[in-house]
A and B are shown apart, each in its own frame.
Chain A
Amino acid sequence: MATGVDQAVGMSLVVFSLVLFTYYSVWVIVLPFVARDHVLHNYFLPREYSVILPGVAAIIVLICIGAFAAIVLWKNRKPKKMD
């Protein structure tokens, strides 16, 4: 078994993804079937955000990946030899 920080990081990733999956599932699938005035609706944002937030997160991830690739390529550029 991995030790110390590895285990903590791994387990926290698992717990985080479980929480995210459960919250998102309830938000998208369960909530439309629950009555409008039920107290459960207070814990969830309006449904439009269930589409906007993942979209914004995806765009941010793509920007980070693009920035990383750009930095790496910029650092490794070699000037052309004049023969």
Chain B
Amino acid sequence: MTKLVEWLVGVTVILVAWAVVSFDLLELRLPDTYREVAWPMPLYLLVSFGCYSLATVGYRVATFNDCDEAARELQEQIKEAKEDLRKKGLKM
């Protein structure tokens, strides 16, 4: 049972459950409010996944550490490299 088959089985089960509740395929005659909540569920899950992704990206942008020392070290190395190349004849 590969991972792909596992995922497909899981997705199919959830999809069938959703279809049965939303479109009343088994004539269960659930109360209307439950059907009204169930049928936008795939879209709702997609929107909440999008919100979660956006929040994660935003949070990690806000908490990403500035590395002052590494920045200075990099500038030094750039200067050294430029000197070195100029000595070897590369015109900048």
A residues contacting B by CB (< 8 A) are: 1-3, 6-7, 9-14, 16-18, 20-21, 24-25, 28-29, 32-33, 47, 50-51, 54-55
Find chain A residues with CB under 8 A from B65 CB: 1-2
Main secondary structure of the interface of B (DSSP, over half): helix
Tell me if B58 and A10 are in contact (CB < 8 A).
yes
Find chain B residues with CB under 8 A from A21 CB: 47-48, 51-52
Q: Is B43 located at the chain interface by the 8 A CB criterion? A: yes
16 cross-chain CB contacts under 8 A: A1-B63, A2-B63, A2-B64, A9-B62, A13-B55, A14-B55, A14-B58, A14-B59, A16-B54, A16-B58, A21-B52, A29-B37, A32-B33, A32-B37, A51-B40, A54-B43
- Would A2 and B66 be within 8 Å (CB), given that A17-B51, A28-B40 are in contact? yes
Distance (whole angstroms) from the CB of A37 to the closest CB of chain B: 16
Tell me if B47 and A3 are in contact (CB < 8 A).
no
Question: Chain B, 25-48, contact with A by CB distance < 8 Å: what is the 0/1 string?
Answer: 000000001001100100110111
